[in-house]
Homo-oligomer: A and B are copies of this chain.
């Protein structure tokens, strides 16, 4: 499973934005490792540096020095629609009649082909298969006839799907979040400017203060002089469709998303998991690193309930197993998992173990982990998952797996338990997720765990209709 992208936008008073953008992208690197890019504008012209690779490999000091200008946007990407390679790396830049546009996009449009075809009928030619180019062309076309705010509003009326965007129109940085607020976007204040980012951790990295989440359907326009920002509630929505998986899986534990600290949410989900399906064992053990916060909450709840349970790291993660790793041959396959995760024998031997993770996708890793535990001498191995079973794919910007690959798409929990050979297996309930996140079920996108989506997706069920709204605006100048 991969998050598809991270976006950032920065306007400063008297400093070049390139270095803060660079550090922000480092903070968002977990959201995309395929390519990275920064586009800045110095008041006269745009500067761009986009390449495939990790942030640290894409930019050197010279690159940053050439990215002049106090305003800019950035992007990290894991490839999704639009195919592979440098062609689809972002930010995407275009120049048009009256200026230049740069776009960073996190999310996935469901009607991109439709909008693309309309634009093509008007003569537009496209260099990529990506959603982002479609948004850019539509916006550029609207800007021929309308001012910036109205142009964005018109584009929002035409595109349908999930999107958190940071946009540069000449030297003005904008942030837009789709009307359902599916992908996260926050705004923060720096000592000498403002920042928009996928996660608040990027703001922390710049020593800034999180102001608040950008609202679903809201446009934020940073003042190019770094002194303030305007906001426009361009689309009003009755219900939202926040991605609950950001909290469970993708976002950094130290980020705040839609009002909740991710680390706290995970600990609380862990507590709820114990409440719903706690079992008495000798030791509670996270699958590192993803299960750690869940396990910590789970163990705490167990101990609070008077259980004599040990919270212990029983699996050592090898952080060097990376991209260039030579895969073991068939014979060595079993050993492969021990390269990545090695059991700490004393913690496991002769013990009843509860293994805590955030999800089961294909089931392969869980099977191997249970076997590892038994080989290391575990008497019982119980598996607890801090989220509901994933039964359907994500169409909103996460690279999960095909429906066929998802073990829970056609197996009952008991069948999965048997497959992974655990002594017991429990998932968290959907309701517990909604309650923990302080949301109505209707305000979350639960497509991957219910199979019902808050967007019209061909061949999939819809959980409701989507409304399109009225314009409003407020100003937060200083």
Contacts and interface: CB of A to CB of B under 8 A. Distances in A.
A320 B26 contact: yes
B318 A29 contact: yes
Interface string A265-288: 001000000000000000000000
Interface in A302-360: 303, 310-313, 316, 318-326, 328-329, 332, 334-335, 338-339, 342-347
B136 A125 contact: yes
B137 A201 contact: no
Interface residues of A, number: 83
A466 interface: no
B123 A144 contact: yes
A474 interface: no
B338 A204 contact: yes
Contacts of A296: 311-313
This chain's copy number in the assembly: 4
A465 interface: no
A123 B94 contact: no
B343 A254 contact: yes
A101 B127 CA distance: 10
Interface in A46-73: 54-57, 59-61, 64
Contacts of A92: 127
Contacts of A55: 320
A55 B101 CA distance: 33
Given A61-B326, A311-B296, A120 B97 contact: yes
Contact of A96 (B64, B126, B320): B126
A203 to B, nearest CB: 10
A403 interface: no
A149 interface: no
Contacts of A129: 95
Interface in A95-146: 95-98, 101, 117, 120-127, 129, 136-137, 140-141, 144
A94 B125 contact: yes
Contacts of A423: none
A134 B319 CA distance: 34
Given A125-B140, A125-B141, A205-B338, 17 more contacts: A22-B326, A26-B320, A64-B326, A97-B120, A98-B120, A121-B144, A122-B122, A123-B141, A124-B124, A206-B335, A207-B334, A252-B342, A254-B316, A254-B345, A264-B346, A292-B313, A293-B313
Interface of A: 19, 22-23, 26-27, 29-30, 54-57, 59-61, 64, 86, 92-98, 101, 117, 120-127, 129, 136-137, 140-141, 144, 201, 204-207, 252-254, 261, 263-264, 267, 292-293, 296, 300, 303, 310-313, 316, 318-326, 328-329, 332, 334-335, 338-339, 342-347
28 contacts: A23-B328, A27-B318, A27-B339, A29-B318, A30-B319, A56-B325, A92-B127, A94-B127, A95-B127, A97-B123, A121-B144, A122-B122, A123-B124, A124-B124, A125-B136, A125-B140, A201-B342, A204-B338, A204-B343, A252-B342, A253-B316, A254-B316, A254-B344, A254-B345, A261-B346, A264-B346, A292-B313, A303-B303
